């Protein structure tokens, strides 16, 4: 069953900024995750701050200088659907995490969460998408792309498509991950690069309005094509629905997920990019939804 829950949203022109990204950031992680714990440690050492108490939190700090709280929980990050209840005073979330891949490719990834299909094997609910935060994800991606080449050898910086939980949070969230094995998760330099990128992104997103909120359809799990477009064209991506997810959906489900992907975003998408290889029928259905929302779209190869 596809979950329809949508916020009240509107379209406000091409160059827009999420008001939520200018509020208090909730930077969260699992204390049992070496990547999340390492990034959090760097942020504490870099920024200082005051210890605080948060419901359910194993460790908590109010960070100086970036209007953020940093909280570690015992649960795995894909099951953080409780954040709205325990962190009512924050406006959006940055989730620090490990990324696991059988390929073992070294990576720094950024993505939003959701289960576009009826499967929900790694957290969240089937057919449900989280609230994306395109500007923040864009600035994290830009910072990682600038800092990683000089400080880390052989790491790929890339958007991932929308996948896994949590999916039920009302506030925008962005995952920032280190992949893809224990060696990378525990690397101090990777912790530093991701930590600095998060700080830089929070500073940038609160002071600049120069990216185009975009929704993507198609492509593989590692969204290299959308990543390159973001860095070249200032397209900031919220949800990216992979080609393999599109192929699994019925026509009715695809219409619903296309609408959710465009609107469950703060701010909502004002542009869409669709890859040709999703197929002619899915492409026509996606285009039908986009036209109903007055969202212009571009069809690209890939």
The pLDDT of residue 20 is 53
Angle at 41 between CA 34 and CA 230, to 5 degrees: 80
Tokens encoding 274: 């669709």
Residues 290, 218: Cα–Cα separation, whole Å: 15
- Domain chopping of the chain, boundaries: 19-300
pTM beyond 0.85, yes or no: yes
Tokens encoding 297: 């779209």
- pLDDT, averaged per 10 consecutive residues of the chain (302 residues), comes to 34 35 91 98 94 93 92 97 96 95 87 93 92 97 95 93 97 96 94 97 85 97 97 97 97 98 97 97 98 98 88
DSSP the chain: -------------SS---GGGGS-EEEEEETT-HHHHHHHHHHHHHH--EE---TT-SEEEEETTTTEEEEEESS-GGG-TTHHHH-TT-SEEEEEEEEE-TT---EEEEE--EE-SS--TTSS-TTEE--B-HHHHHHHHHHHHHHHHHHSSS-EEEEBPS-SS----SS-EEEEEEEESHHHHT-HHHHHHHHHHHHHHHHHHTT----EEEEEE-S-SB-HHHHHHHHHH-EEEEEEE-HHHHHHS-HHHHHHHHHHHHHSBSSPPSEEEEEGGG-HHHHHHHHHHHHHTT--EEEE--
Bridge-partner residues for 275, per DSSP? 300
The pLDDT of residue 168 is 96
The pLDDT of residue 210 is 77
Helix axis angle, 34-47 to 188-205, nearest 10°: 60
Tokens encoding 170: 């009302």
Task: Give how far Cα 115 sits from Cα of 40, 132, 139, 166, 262, Å.
Answer: 27, 13, 24, 9, 15
The pLDDT of residue 111 is 98
Q: Is the dihedral of CA 93, 199, 206, 263 positive or negative?
A: negative
Residues 213, 138: Cα–Cα separation, whole Å: 9
Nearest to 127 by CA among 136, 115, 135, 139: 115
The pLDDT of residue 79 is 96
CATH number for 19-300: choose from 1.20.1250.20, 1.10.1530.10, 3.60.20.10, 3.40.630.50: 3.40.630.50
């Amino acid at each position: 069953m596809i979950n329809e829950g949508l916020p009240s949203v509107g379209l406000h022109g091409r160059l827009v900024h999420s008001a939520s990204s200018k509020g208090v950031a909730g930077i969260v992680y699992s204390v049992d995750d070496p990547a999340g714990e390492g990034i959090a440690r760097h942020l504490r050492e870099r920024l200082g701050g005051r210890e605080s108490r948060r419901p359910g939190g194993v460790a908590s700090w109010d960070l100086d200088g970036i209007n953020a709280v940093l909280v570690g929980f015992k649960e795995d990050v894909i099951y953080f659907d409780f954040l709205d209840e325990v962190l009512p005073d924050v406006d959006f979330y940055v989730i620090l995490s490990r990324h696991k891949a059988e390929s073992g490719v070294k990576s720094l990834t950024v993505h939003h969460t959701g289960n576009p299909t009826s499967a929900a094997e790694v957290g969240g609910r089937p057919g449900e998408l989280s609230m994306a935060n395109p500007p923040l994800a864009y600035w994290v991606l830009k910072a990682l792309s600038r800092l990683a080449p000089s400080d880390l050898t052989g790491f790929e910086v890339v958007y991932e498509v929308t996948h896994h939980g949590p999916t039920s949070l009302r506030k925008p969230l962005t995952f920032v991950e280190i992949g893809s094995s224990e060696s990378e998760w525990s690397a101090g330099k990777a912790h530093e690069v991701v930590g600095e990128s998060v700080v830089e992104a929070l500073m940038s997103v609160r002071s600049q309005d120069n990216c185009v909120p975009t929704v993507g359809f198609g492509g593989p799990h590692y969204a290299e094509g959308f990543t390159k477009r973001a860095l070249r064209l200032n397209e900031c991506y919220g949800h990216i629905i992979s080609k393999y997810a599109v192929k699994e959906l019925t026509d009715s489900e695809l219409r619903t997920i296309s609408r959710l992907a465009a609107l469950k975003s703060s701010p909502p998408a004002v542009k869409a990019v669709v890859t040709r290889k999703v197929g002619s029928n899915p492409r026509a259905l996606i285009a039908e939804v986009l036209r109903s929302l007055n969202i212009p779209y571009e069809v690209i190869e890939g």
